[in-house]
Chain A
Amino acid sequence: MSDLKQTASGGQPASGCPADEARIGVYICHCGGNISDHVDVEAVRERMEKMPGVTVSRTNMFMCSDPGQESIMEDLKSGLVNRVVVASCAPSLHETTFRAAIARAGGNPYQYEHANIREQVSWVHHGAPATDKATRLISAAAGKARLLTPLTPIRVEAQRRALVIGGGVAGMRAALDLAAQGVRTDLIELSPYLGGGLARLDKLAPHGEDAAGIVRELAGNILSDPLITTHCQARLTAFGGYVGKFSVEISPASRTARAQEAAPGAFVPGKGVLGPAQAPGAPERFDAGAVVMATGFSSYAPQKGEYGFGDNAEAVTLPRFIEELKNAQTAPDGMLRLGSRPVRSLAIIHCVGSRQIPGVHEEGPSGHLNEHCSRTCCAASINAALTVRKTFPATRVYELYRDIRTYGRGQEEMYAEASAEKVTFLRFDVESPPEVVRVNGQYPLEVRVRDELTFGENLELPVDLVVLATGMEPAPIRDLIDMLKLPVGADRFLLETHPKLRPVELPVAGVYLAGTCQAPMDAGEAANAASSAAAKAGALLRRGFVELDPFVAEVDPARCKGTGACVDACLNEGALRLQETEIGGEKVMRAVVTPALCLGCGACAAVCPEGAINVSGWTLEQYEAMVDMILSEAAFAVTADESVSASPEPAEAAV
């Protein structure tokens, strides 16, 4: 693996004694009395001095101060010490400070161990037990330090090339942002068009941006960017590798219908901008350093009979209605006409295929319930209603909702405007949903609803049209999920590592999330996620390499017997595998670590019957040494007499 340089300059296996004799320096901080008021710092220093492997032990009023750090650096430079133990406050505060000091003095920052004697000793224990505990903790740190080998961060060469899967607003935004950072980007899209779900919309809620205009602009930028290669009607057919070097195979997708009359680059209403099709024939293969998933969503397809859908031509979905509304001409009588059919009144039913409740809703053909809220439909419905009322004031609109979720900026105001425009809102409980009934009256359909706003009365709404505000479902990307080994949540959307810590990242390092493949969101939210993903991927690729913690598993080839126990225990698939090796003319299986994929958890170390695998910097031997030192009386043996005389109130003694 030439591109993976796990450099351990000591070159020592994880076990056994390091080649260079350990010369440990122990540096104990008074912390201006915070430690020394309760821990007899001088007594501890004397004890440490006599510990095996310790060549020097010093104290300082403030070890983190410049003079404190200087004393450490001088000892390193003079060769007096080659391993450092600092006993002071919590490592979260100053571990990096001291590691940096060691590096400045030319030492290896990983030959360092920290003993926490403030937060975990002097602030919680008093008197002799505090001094005792500090002694044992510092001894333990020294015990570990003896076994520390020099480490360097793992460098993984990174291809300055990214793959974006999906050509909707999220995919396009991500590709443009990657390209802007100088990253060569391949965007693949299954359909012939760029634009995704956005291309089907009209004026966007609540500010009225023109969806087609946005799609045109983004696609135009994509197609003219020299760093972006667009592959429409293309599929990912093979995937492997790891962060920095994913191997990718793109094949032409089976042909779907495309607008014959449109030229590449042209906008086709309701579909998007026609993009360059993947050339038929052999698959295209290349390496990419990072991948952005932007595979978008599918619109929920109502079941036959759901609110009259399928049984009545007058029941349509909201996306369909928005498309028809786009083309509707204003009439002198102010009434909406779909085709030649006048629409005197229409009802929009919310939460169709969203917020489904087990026991109340029936599972669809997918065998799943959509328990999630689709987030965008309330605003989209009200936006459509408002458009109707303003453009076709003779047409009446009813909105039947469970909760109005106009959460976004300007959306609540839009809801108020719709009210002012006399859209009639009715609220139903999920347990008694509205019914759509065909009637032989003046109107073809009647919506019957138990309206909670009218004290639970049953109301009848005569309508010419029923619009179902269908929600978002995950797009059918089973193949990608399997190929990239992506985690999926209970809602079947792709599952991020952590919604707040790492919202656009996946456990697979180097693969990012953008847009509605993760959860329902609107265009702006998808754009944010895409930019965020592009920032993360860009930071990774722009340097040309990825630097990873050196705390990864390491195999001792001398001990490994190739049992494969570690491979079974490994939590991150691909981090460990068995590889055929020739040893003494004999072909044997040996465990091999892919450091770029190793998380450093140590699950492997626990199960190896030979003790042949360990996590660098956190080895089992080191822990065993620490336990031994905590239990050891060695530190006390020499100074036992003095320690007896240690004041029971070391507070005075220390200042």
Chain B
Amino acid sequence: MSAVNPAFLDELEAYGENAGALCFNCGTCAAVCPLDGGHFPRKMIRYAQIGAVDRIREESRELWRCLHCGLCTQTCPRGANPGEVILTLKRLFAAEWRKS
């Protein structure tokens, strides 16, 4: 079991305009992502929504597989801009690394 922490979305907003709050988890992004297979990028967005930052950290290398091709953003039915959420998460970790 993991505890949910919605405050993470607020923190994340410092790194980008879109932190994924709008996503209603339809799965379009995961299905169109050229990285094929798995739940990416919805997985990351969902973890962000529930504040499972440890999960994102554990799997953070996944973020850099993203091609930034934008197909998920183009097809997102909720205008949740999944591509931008991934970029925002990249920025969060890149900033952390830079500090360390």
Contacts and interface: CB of A to CB of B under 8 A. Distances in A.
**Same assembly:** yes
A398 B23 contact: no
A419 B24 contact: yes
Interface string B1-29: 11110110110000000000111110000
B50 interface: yes
B91 interface: no
Interface string A290-317: 0000000000000000000000000000
A460 B46 contact: no
B78 interface: yes
B4 A398 contact: yes
Given A453-B46, A455-B39, A455-B43, A420 B4 contact: no
B22 A419 contact: yes
A458 B1 contact: yes
A420 B46 CA distance: 14
Given A424-B6, A424-B50, A455-B43, A419 B21 contact: yes
A399 B96 CA distance: 32
Nearest to B80: A419
A458 B7 CA distance: 19
Interface string A385-425: 00000000000101000001000000000011001111011
B4 A461 contact: yes
Interface residues of B, number: 21
B49 interface: yes
B21 A420 contact: yes
Contacts of A420: 21-22
A420 B9 CA distance: 11
Interface residues of A, number: 25
A424 B22 contact: no
Contact of B2 (A404, A416, A422, A457): A457
A459 interface: yes
A462 B3 contact: yes
B49 A424 contact: yes
A459 B2 contact: yes
A366 interface: no
Contact of A454 (B6, B22, B23, B46): B46
Given A419-B21, A420-B21, A448-B1, A459 B6 contact: no
Q: Is the interface of A mostly helix, strand, loop or mixed?
A: strand
A571 B24 CA distance: 53
Contact of A453 (B3, B6, B25): B25
Nearest to A397: B6
A425 B2 CA distance: 16
B4 A459 contact: yes
Nearest to A441: B3
A460 B50 contact: no
Contact of B4 (A415, A416, A427, A460): A460
Contacts of B25: 425, 427, 453
Contacts of A458: 1-2
A416 B22 contact: yes
A459 B50 contact: yes
Contacts of A345: 6
Nearest to A449: B4
A426 B52 CA distance: 14
22 contacts: A345-B6, A396-B6, A396-B7, A398-B4, A404-B24, A419-B23, A419-B24, A419-B78, A420-B21, A421-B21, A422-B21, A424-B4, A426-B50, A427-B25, A453-B25, A454-B46, A454-B50, A459-B1, A460-B1, A460-B2, A461-B3, A461-B4
Q: Which 9 A-B pairs have the closest CB atoms?
A: A453-B25, A458-B1, A460-B3, A422-B21, A424-B6, A396-B6, A460-B1, A419-B22, A461-B4
Interface of A: 345, 396, 398, 404, 415-416, 419-422, 424-427, 448, 451, 453-455, 457-462
Interface of B: 1-4, 6-7, 9-10, 21-25, 39, 43, 46-47, 49-50, 52, 78
